[in-house]
Copies of this chain bind each other. A is one copy, B any other.
Amino acid sequence: MDEKLLELEEEIFDLIEKKRFVQLKQILSEMQPADIAEIFDEAKDKEIPVLFRILPKELAAEVFVEFDSDKQEILVNAFSDNELREVLDELFMDDAADIVEEMPATVAKRILKNTDANTRRMINQLLAYPEDSAGSIMTTEYIDLKRTMTVEEAIDRIRKKGINTETIYTCYVIGSRRKLFGTISLRDLVLSGRDEIVGDLMDENVISAHTLDDKEEVAAMFERYDMLALPVVDKEGRLVGIVTVDDAIDVIQEEASEDIEKMAAILPGEKTYLKTGVFETFKSRIPWLLFLMISATFTGAIISTFEAKLAQCIALVAFIPMLMGTGGNAGSQTSVSVIRALSLGDIEFKDILKVIWKELRVSVIVGIVLGIVNFIKLYLVDYLWLHTFDTGTEIVEMATICITLICVIIVAKMLGAALPIIAKKIGLDPAVMASPLVTTILDAVSLLIYFGIAAVLVL
């Protein structure tokens, strides 16, 4: 929250305490819905219905949409049927469906009971689409035009239907059975002559999505084609709804958060950080931690196997963390880059050889540079100054460490490049192949390389 908003918050709570509702109403009516929702968030549960009733009708509905589902439930329970109907009337179809979806069954039932038959049918239809589909984020209110209309007729229709439509800036030209023929922007309508015909002006190369397309792909289309709204059609090419750019932005942020969480071995959740309870947070984190902890047993087993030999050459133990750490970091640099490129659509499965070839060259350069720096450091610090190494075999021990380092970096970057791409190909989520899992695999691989090289050179 910025400072201006914090000041406003103080003023508002001061007015609430003094019960100066007239002044409060004036301040609130000039604010943005998202800001009001954030301030109401700090209010006591009992105060919320009171505050909400102060708001003008349209603003009230907009604020209602911004609340999280807990607050919405409190409000719906406090509303009379009349009040509930008033708020529902102002909502866009996609928002209404989202709210019904989040509510407990009894509350959802009461909401549906208070909508007209047509709205109820639409909400139920939207709720039937799979969770991550284009259908689940679209709204069913849009401006439809006919090919034969003049620009003047089109604008008249927009003036008549526009108030209840989320966007009027892109209009959809449809034929019989709602078949989508083309789109025309309000911009083109306003900039054209009043007598021109919609069918001549419309853009027939329509970019559209199918109801079952992944919402992530839909959001990517907004980014690629700089659109304000995208039509959604069913298998028969009939227009069933539109997705607007504000929902696409939400999807982009959600997907980025989800990727980031998966990369950090967290099961992605829907709530914001502070709104997620302790136990919920625990549940999202424990599965991967358990899995990774058990996996680390293999690393332990490898060390145990070499225990007797390690006891003879204990100096080498001190370098295990550095080798495993550098391998892990080098691998996760690559896997994270590749995962992000996959999710932005910059690379695909067919690029796998290009990616591996690039990473091979990068890893050789990185490996050699780190190997040399490490050798210098070992020689100056560990050998000359600290006398870490055993007399007689010091050079071989140092060489073992540096050669291992180079090999580990190359293997780390190869695995980091290949695993996410292969995961995507076989239908797994590439983001899961980020740091923690790759690091755990690399820990075991690094040790095997280390002891393998050591066995030849030293032990």
Contacts and interface: CB of A to CB of B under 8 A. Distances in A.
Interface of A: 1, 30-32, 34, 155, 158-159, 162-163, 168-169, 186-187, 190-191, 204-205, 207, 222-226, 228, 245-246, 248-250, 252-253, 256-257, 259-261, 263-266, 272-274, 278-279, 281-282, 285-286, 288-290, 292-294, 296-297, 299-301, 303-304, 307, 310-311, 314-315, 317-322, 324-326, 328-330, 332-333, 335-338, 340-341, 344, 346-348, 351, 354-355, 358, 361-362, 365-366, 369-370, 373-374, 377, 381, 386, 388, 434-436, 439-440, 443, 447
A337 B388 contact: no
A231 to B, nearest CB: 15
Contact of A318 (B265, B304, B328): B304
A121 B207 CA distance: 37
Total identical chains: 2
Contact of A162 (B187, B222, B265): B187
A325 B265 CA distance: 12
B299 A325 contact: yes
Contacts of A326: 289, 292-293, 296
Nearest to A186: B186
A366 B303 contact: no
Given A249-B223, A310-B314, A336-B264, A346 B436 contact: no
B347 A443 contact: no
A268 to B, nearest CB: 11
B340 A322 contact: no
A439 B328 CA distance: 10
Most buried by B among A297, A319, A434: A297
A337 B226 contact: no
Contacts of A162: 187, 190-191
Contact of A253 (B252, B265, B317, B319): B252
Contacts of A274: 341, 346-347, 351, 354-355, 358
A186 B207 contact: no
Contact of A336 (B186, B204, B266): B266
A163 B158 CA distance: 21
Contacts of A388: 304
A205 B286 CA distance: 46
A160 to B, nearest CB: 9
Contacts of A365: 278-279, 282
14 contacts: A31-B205, A169-B187, A223-B253, A248-B249, A252-B253, A257-B340, A263-B336, A264-B333, A286-B369, A288-B329, A307-B314, A307-B315, A321-B443, A332-B436
A222 B205 contact: no
A127 B260 CA distance: 33
Contacts of A340: 257, 260-261, 273
Contact of A322 (B281, B300, B332): B300
Given A191-B159, A317-B303, A440 B370 contact: no
Given A31-B205, A310-B317, 9 more contacts: A168-B191, A245-B245, A249-B252, A282-B366, A285-B366, A288-B329, A299-B325, A300-B321, A325-B443
Given A261-B337, A340-B261, A373 B290 contact: yes
Contact of A361 (B34, B278, B319): B278
A449 to B, nearest CB: 14
Nearest to A162: B191
A368 B309 CA distance: 34
B158 A190 contact: yes
Contact of A325 (B296, B304, B307, B341): B296
Contacts of A279: 365
A214 B141 CA distance: 35
B346 A272 contact: yes
A308 to B, nearest CB: 8
